[in-house]
Amino acid sequence: MRKKIDIGKKILIANEEYAIRNNQFLAEQKKLCLNMISSPGSGKTTILVRTINDLKDKIKIGVIEGDIQTDIDAKRIKATKAPAVQIETGGSCHLSAAQVSSALKNLPISNLDLIFIENVGNLICPTAFELGEWGKIAVLSVAEGDDKPAKYPAIFAKSKALLINKIDLLAGAMVDFDIKRVKNDVYKLNKDIEIFQVSAKTGQGMAEWYNWLKESVKNIQSD
Amino acid sequence: MRKKIDIGKKILIANEEYAIRNNQFLAEQKKLCLNMISSPGSGKTTILVRTINDLKDKIKIGVIEGDIQTDIDAKRIKATKAPAVQIETGGSCHLSAAQVSSALKNLPISNLDLIFIENVGNLICPTAFELGEWGKIAVLSVAEGDDKPAKYPAIFAKSKALLINKIDLLAGAMVDFDIKRVKNDVYKLNKDIEIFQVSAKTGQGMAEWYNWLKESVKNIQSD
């Protein structure tokens, strides 16, 4: 087991070097970069599509789209007309900073305010690999259950913001999900995190998320 | 990248040796062993709890419960009185065959017909690590979306059965999920897979799953 840990460390260190370079590049360019991480099916792509469409006239958004296989999500993003670059990981369970470094070269960075990285659908592995982002965004759908921050703490501890998505499913008590429990558990891990309750399907709660994005872009640009 | 692949291979080969030994042990003992794999929040634990309670008088079930952190799920299993062994992976994104080998020693194997392994909530990494099981069971909740087999094909290609869970959410069109699309995509990957449509919450559809379990236990015992 010792050997495995050492090897794991080496891979992380190699990744870290790319991540630092990506981070420096994005800071110099004064671009906000957010790394979205969640389980498969939490609604990352739907959140992105709605955010891009609703903020079209206010923030210029580009997307780096990570997937194990298929360009299903990339096609949905491209339909918004936002610049998007697809990375197919071919089985790997997370994006690497080297992949993001290549993808950044294929985006029209100078025309953008905000770059979203949609990571592979996985609540665990992507958390360990810095990509050079300014911050991580966790997404948790209410259908996944309110015990997830307790069971998978790392991503909630490391994120700048958490979107609790699919809150439309709480109507009619279709889903058992105690938002208070989630907030308590998440704030214990990370007292500075912003928590937004949204439905990317209906639009409910998205305005607060948009305000936070606009504020964050402004802060980066005035740095 | 070459180096990473070779290292990955070595880890997989070391795992495979334990997996083969576990598999031989379980075959000698004529015990059915199923490795349940899904995203976080698809309902693996709820399926197990209901299955154990409903089959109490027919099949003696034990559980190996894998979690990154916390014993939330293990406590839910233990409340059923079924023998259960908890493995906390401490951050690792999948169970290993070595961990399962230790856990098997702590279960009263001779009193059991069926051992469920509830893997860490992750649709990707656990798929690559054989544990010695007779078969894999994939779980997909309708809230995760019908594009998941296309986007994460490996687990659907390798499983003996797929449980499409939370079908109670399809009532009132709360969730967009095309079961036909899922079945088409899954059968293209794996023509022999059994697909069950269930709600572990309401009990809908569980009888077919139970029949399949009883049949599979009988087949192993008469081998």
pLDDT tens, A88-140?
A: 998 889 999 999 999 999 999 999 999 999 999 999 999 999 999 999 999 99
Q: How far apart are CA A57 and CA A156, in angstroms?
A: 31
At A103 the pLDDT is 97
Residue A2 at interface with chain B, using a CB cutoff of 8 Å: no
Residue B126 at interface with chain A, using a CB cutoff of 8 Å: no
At B223 the pLDDT is 79
Domain residue limits at A141: 2-221
Instruction: From chain A, pick out residues whose CB is under 8 angstroms from the CB of B154.
Output: 91
Neighbours of A109 (CB within 10 A): 15
pLDDT confidence band for B1 (50 / 70 / 90): very low
How close are the terminal C-alpha atoms of chain B, in Å?
A: 44
At B6 the pLDDT is 66
Question: Could you tell me the two tokens for A191?
Answer: 């007292």
Q: What's B76's domain CATH number?
A: 3.40.50.300
Average pLDDT for residues A47-64, to the nearest whole number? 98
pLDDT confidence band for A1 (50 / 70 / 90): very low
At B39 the pLDDT is 96
Give the three-class secondary structure for B176. Answer: coil
ipTM of the prediction: 0.80
Q: Is the pLDDT of residue A11 over 80?
A: no
Residue A31 at interface with chain B, using a CB cutoff of 8 Å: no
Distance from CA of A93 to the nearest CA of B (A): 6
Instruction: From chain A, pick out residues whose CB is under 8 angstroms from the CB of B151.
Output: 40, 67-70, 72-73, 121
Residue B93 at interface with chain A, using a CB cutoff of 8 Å: yes
Contacts of B78 (CB under 8 A, 6+ apart): B84
Question: Could you tell me the two tokens for B4?
Answer: 């990473």
Say yes or no for a CB contact (<8 Å) between B143 and A41. yes
Say yes or no for a CB contact (<8 Å) between B40 and A67. no
Cβ distance A40 to B144 under 8 Å?
Answer: yes
Q: How far apart are CA B109 and CA A150, in angstroms?
A: 31
pLDDT tens sequence across B105-122: 999 999 999 999 999 999
Q: Give the total number of structural domains in chain B.
A: 1
Count CA atoms closer than 13 A to A154's CA, side-chain side.
Answer: 17
Output phi, psi for B36, to 5 deg: -90, 125
Which chain B residue's Cα is nearest to A174?
A: B169
Which chain A residue's Cα is nearest to B6?
A: A7
pLDDT tens sequence across A191-214: 999 999 999 999 999 999 999 999
Query: What pTM was computed for the model?
Result: 0.86
